[in-house]
Structure 1
Amino acid sequence: MKVGSKEVFKAGSALAGGVARMGETCGALTGAIMGVCSLVGREKLEDREQYGKAMEEAQKVYNLFREEIGQTLCEKIHQTRYGKVYHLANPEEREAFHRDGGHSRTGCPEVCGVAARIAGEVILDLPKKAPKKKPGKTSARKPKRKTKTRR
């Protein structure tokens, strides 16, 4: 999957509401960590070194998010932002959440924006990968251009 692809967007659909509307870890935080780890995560289960690097970057995202938002659990973020907890799996409470401004500028969209900004900052701070050299080649020479001679 490519970053920004429809598949990535679809895969994150059920992160909302603290994972499937259950009020657990904020979906914006989870998505931010997934975005960062799509660049630094391991490709093979056995790759412990890359796993460690991914965990380090994920912890940066988590800690920065918690520092700025104050919480990482959806229900606790609701309590802080709205003064009450909405149980989003319940249709009536979900409707109340929307009616009470759950998707207003200072609600969940702002939390999502904070998570996205933090992910972007962490990504921009990632160490740059050195280009891989092909074995047996020491420098990249430009091929000589053939020139036509005029007679």
Structure 2
Amino acid sequence: MSQPVPPPGNPFADGAYTGAPVPPPAPPRNNVALGVLAALVAALVAGAIYGVVAGEIEREIGWAAIGVGFVTGLAAGKIGGANPALPFASAVFSLGGVYVGQLVGIAIIGGKELKIPFTEMFFQNFDLLVQAWNQTKDPMTLLFFVLAGVGAFAGARKANR
């Protein structure tokens, strides 16, 4: 008995095809400028979320600082590729993100105590926030910066595995 003849137009009818279709290769990711921009945006967004959480629970959380760094590095690596400058840029931006987050947290806590809106506290009394941050910083505050930097390197490396 002979094998049935496949319908015309089927390129896999000869039986050589045995698996799922191969997806097209991923486009090359080697745009450092976009990677840096992605790191900046991710650091600001993650830092703001970090600050809201810290302000609402009235304390900082180490894993959240790592998260700010990790998200920043991951965004840079996914968008910008494996350029060796991106983990460093991510680390710098993650430090800024944690700093902004700490200021947001202080503004939320201060706004609750003074019974004024967050926006007024953050935008109209920014100099007071910076003074409050300087007066309340301690070794743990600086540890959060270190954790964010380590998280940024880890995120950038993870993005390119």
TM-score (norm 1): 0.35
From the CA coordinates, give the structure whose radius of gyration is larger. Answer: 2
Higher relative contact order (CA 8 A, sep 6+): 2
As a proportion of its length, which structure holds more helix? 2
TM-score (norm 2): 0.33
